[in-house]
Amino acid sequence: MSDDLGFLGAAELVKRYAAGTLSPPEVLEACLAQIERHDDRLNAMAHVAADSARVAARESAQRWAQGRPLGPLDGVPVAVKDLIPVAGMPLRYGSAASDDTPVDEDAPSVTNLRRAGAVITGKTNTAEHGWKGVCDNPLTGITRNPWNPDLTPGGSSGGSGVAVATGMAALALGGDEGGSIRIPSSFCGIAGLKPTWGRVPLHQPAVCGTWSHVGPMARCVADLALGLNALAHPDPRDWESLPETGTDYTANLTQGVRGLRIALSPGIGHVALDGEVEAAVRAAAEVLRDLGATVVEATPAIGNPIEPYYVLVRMAARAIVDSVPASRRQLLEGVLRKDAADAGRHSGMDVKYAEMEQRRLGAVMASFFGNHDILLTATTAVPPFAVGIDDPGNGKRTDLQWTGTLFPFNLTRLPAASVPCGRTASGLPIGLHLVAARYDDATVLRTAAAYEAAAPGIGRPPLA
């Protein structure tokens, strides 16, 4: 029974709390039991905050007993990526160059979670400073995929993906600068949302600037919508966070896709996909067509923006490395230090031209979404691959071929989600990637929910 409680979704939990048939402490204990049962093997959690979570769960139970829940996530166990500050917990960035002093202030996203009543269970493992599409670091080691522990769960929000997939939390926060929510969502067989840039306020300074996103990861699309309801509130600490809209992202999830214009471009024109991945994406497009959407093959004219992206990436790496005391920089991973060193080859005008290209790409996508409501691609070019390497090319990281469908939509600040769309012959999850126009998070969620309802699910990971 405890195992089953750990796998109840956030929306179902809130429903049962309201009916009085389940209590937040019961659910928290089930999630903590899943951590105890599986985390030694999978290594999802960087810090478990059992004591403070138990206090929060008891307080939530009292509110529900009085009929006075704080908000849409009251009593829901939520784990937070260890790049995001949580007051009273260490902020380690997955880095041996960090220390374990608890921070004093929540990030704006965590403030919003607490206002919604969420029970923060702890911090999840990440690539060091989020700098890779996998999840290992010099501080806490390798995080493993629950579908096959010899494989990566993806990253950099890999711990969050594993925590959700295994019932350690009902929801998790991830961060996404080039795919870091959507990669582990795909590899772990869950749903993940990168909201429109600014929809969820960021903690400052945000070194990745206008292509850094924070968003929810969950086992179903309805829980992504519920999570966004809690998270999508501006905060004065992020002066670029979007104004309050009052949108209920759960309201239109059952509206369906009839009449929507969907552009299918599995590899967005330049990404070579694994055969099973492409077949699954094309099959998903047929499901949406059968549901009444108009599906056409169309690719936005963005080309491969890897060069301007990497100019900005290297500058962000330099800012991160410079923020670490000089005496501890040698403790940082080589890939981060290399990108930081490579920043020196760029001039100020290189950065300006990269920013101009970012704006051009944004205009191209705005025009594209004048004719289409959704762009459908593969989430990743390949299924999960072996732990211990940074990419399926075993070190040929600079072309980012396997994540080429993802980072362009960070540069263009668009809402995007990954949902499971089947499994490979060897049983590994495959992700379907949905992108919409800026600010149109609701259509991403609505389309993902329609697909999820019509398609067969992929089930739970085969946990030992």
Q: Active-site residue numbers?
A: 81, 156, 180
Burial 321-344 (b: 16+ CB within 10 A, else e): beebeeeeeeebbebbbebbebbe
Cα–Cα separations (whole angstroms), residue 283 to 277, 376, 403 = 10, 12, 21
Amino acid, single-letter form, for residue 216:
P
**Token reading at 437:** 């126009």
Please choose, from the candidates 6, 158, 144, the residue with its C-alpha nearest in 3D space to the C-alpha of residue 83.
158
Alpha carbon separation from 336 to 318, 323, 328, 389 (Å, rounded)? 8, 13, 14, 15
Return the closest-CA partner of residue 192 out of 137, 243, 124: 124
The CA distance from 98 to 17, in Å, is 39
Burial class, 51, CB count within 10 angstroms (exposed 0-12 / middle 13-18 / buried 19+): exposed
Ramachandran class of 72: left when φ > 0, alpha when ψ lies in -120 to 50, beta otherwise: alpha
CA–CA gap between residue 429 and residue 223 (Å, rounded): 19
Beta-carbon contacts of 297 under 8 Å, excluding residues fewer than 6 positions away, are: 263, 264, 265
Total residue count of the chain as it appears in this document: 464
CB atoms within 10 A of CB 255: 14
What are the backbone dihedrals phi and psi of residue 392, each rounded to the nearest 5 degrees, phi first?
-70, -15
Q: DSSP per residue over 167-226, as a string?
A: TS-SEEEEEESSSTTHHHHHHHT-EEEEPPTTSSPPPS--TTGGG-EEEEEESSHHHHHH
